[in-house]
Structures are given as C-alpha cells and as structure tokens.
Structure 1
Amino acid sequence: MVSTLAWVALALAVLGVVGSLLPAVPGATLSLAGLLVYWWSTGYADPSLVVVVGFVLVAAVASLVDVAGSALAVRAGGASPLTAAVALVAGLVLGLVTGPLGFVVGVAGAAFAVEFYRTGESEASTRAALYATVGVLGSAVVQLLLTLSLLVALVAVVFV
C-alpha cells in the first residue's frame, strides 16, 4: 500500500512538471521536494543515496536552465547584458499576469524594444527577439523533459 506521504511526493512531482512550463514557478524545486518528502517518509532508505544525488543534479540542471536559458539565448543573439536583463524582467512580469504566452511575448518584445532603442537597427533587434523567443521555448522544453524524468523516476521508485 502506498503511504499518504508518497502521494504527497507524487503530487509535488506532478506540480513540478506543470511548474516547469509556468513562469516564476520553480518546477525543478517542486519535483525535488517530492523526492525528498518520499525519501524522508521511508527513513532515508528508499531510494538510495546515489539515486537522491542523481535527482539533485537533474533538478540543479533544470533550475539552471530555468534561470539562465533565455538570458543566454538573448546574449547569443548579439544583444547586450542590459537587454537580457530587461527582457527577463519584462517576461516575468508579463508572465505573472498572463501566463506562459505572456512570458514569451514579454521576453521577445522587450529584447526587440531595448535593442532597437540601443542600436536603431531593426535587423539586429529582430535577431535578438528571435533568439530570445527560441531560448525561452527551448528552456521550457528542457525543463519539461527534466522534470518529467524526475516524475517518471519517482513513480518507478514508489511503485516498483
């Protein structure tokens, strides 16, 4: 029989997967919290320490992708650090109000606007906005896959 804490752990992992697609929701942290709740509920016996360390590393990579993915993409598109910072803040603010689509639009729109203000070049500004959009979407896909892998592994640990 599966314990109540195991169900709580699984719920946290599911919220982590959902959170990986939503701005300002720490999906990887929620997934990791689910595993740690389960590990604690078993007296630190199941899963093994090696598996827990693996979970922590995967969650750390997912968190890093969450924080740095779009900013790195904006920079790769030739934008300034200021543009990357403004785009991230604009995406977070708009994302909190309107959800994931607002986050993408906020990042792309701010990247375009700041670069156009800074350089006056529409081609460079468009490139920065395009890289920002690809970065945000790519970051979301990577986070989704990582948190989904954490969920699948936790389900295997609990039920197998």
Structure 2
Amino acid sequence: MLALPDTIASVPTPVLVAFALLALGMVGSVLPLLPSGITSLAGVGVYWWHTGDPGTLALAALVVLCLVATVVDWFGGALGANAGGASTRTTVVAAAVGLLCLPLGGPIGVIAGVAGTVFALEYRRHGDRDVGLRTAAYATAAVLASALVQLLLTGVVFAAVLLVHLL
C-alpha cells in the first residue's frame, strides 16, 4: 500500500530537497547548461543520505542511470553529428555557437545555432548543399535524441526514488 503523507509539511526537508533536485534533473534534460544526470545524482545522494534507501543494488543502478545520462548529455550530440559526417572541428564550432545562441533563443536557439553552423561549415567543406543538409539533420536529430534519452533516464530515476519513498 502506498503511504502518502498527510501534508507536504510532514515530509522532511532533505527529502523535499532530494525531490527538487530530481525534478530539476528532468528539467535539465531539455534545458542546455543544466546538467541533468549530475543534478539527478545529487538528488539520489541526498535522498539516500537522509533515508538510507534505496538498498545497495538499487542505489548502484540509479547511480549508473545518472552517469549514463551525464555521458549522453556531454557526448550524445557530438557523437550523432560525427555519425552524420560532421568533422570534429565542425562539431566543436557548432557546440560553441549553440551555447552562444542559448541566451537569444533558449533551447530553440541552441538547436537552430547547431543546425545552421553544421550546415554552413559542412557545405563550405564539401561544396555540396545536400551533404550540408544531411549532416545538419543528423546533428539536429542527435541533439534532440540526446535530450530525449536524458529525459527518459532522469524520469526513471525520479520515478524509482518516488516509488521507494512511497513504499
């Protein structure tokens, strides 16, 4: 049977902080510059430190999920761009431009900055519009897929800790 607290005031502050970090980790999956996996890992750590739950095996699994989310966050977009044929130079420049576009257009600015930069540099490199478009499409898909994978991983971590808390 699920044990729901009578009020939010009955939930200890460290547990509330843990769930806030876990939720922020999910938000960080779709917002650039907010490390989703690391934030979720901090939430798991705070929860575990305060409650002693989950057990060792479940804790190890949650830590691994958080670390995988971090790796996807750091390298997913670049690996996808490289898989699409973008050079390492193009990938690095596109990442920098994407970050510079963040204040101007948020996540949409990042995606537009990455796509536009990859297209321009790869078109210049190959002299072929189709190659530039294909490579930009791969890079854009990689950025979006990276965010989706991070959201799924951090969502599973959030749900697992919530389930442990409620049981």
Q: What TM-score, normalized by structure 1, do the two folds share?
A: 0.94
Matched, 1:31 2:33: no
- Amino acid of the residue matched to residue 70 of structure 1? G
Larger gyration radius, structure 1 or structure 2 = 2
- Report the Cα offset of residue 130 of structure 1: 0.4
DSSP-derived class of the 1:24 partner: coil
2:158 paired residue number = 151
CA distance in 1, matches of 2:146, 2:102: 15
User: Counterparts in 2 of 1:1-160, with a 5 A limit?
Assistant: 1-42=10-51, 45-160=52-167
**Shift >3 Å, 4+ stretches:** none
Q: What TM-score, normalized by structure 2, do the two folds share?
A: 0.90
- Amino acid of the residue matched to residue 132 of structure 2? S
- Report the Cα offset of residue 96 of structure 1: 4.1
CA distance in 2, matches of 1:107, 1:155: 36
Tell me the number of residue pairs that the alignment of Structure 1 and Structure 2 aligns: 158
Where does structure 1 lack aligned partners over 5 or more consecutive residues?
none
Where does structure 2 lack aligned partners over 5 or more consecutive residues?
1-9
Q: CA RMSD in A?
A: 1.2
Question: Cα deviation per residue 1:9-47 (whole Å; 9 max; x = unaligned)?
Answer: 0011001101110011101111111110011112xx211
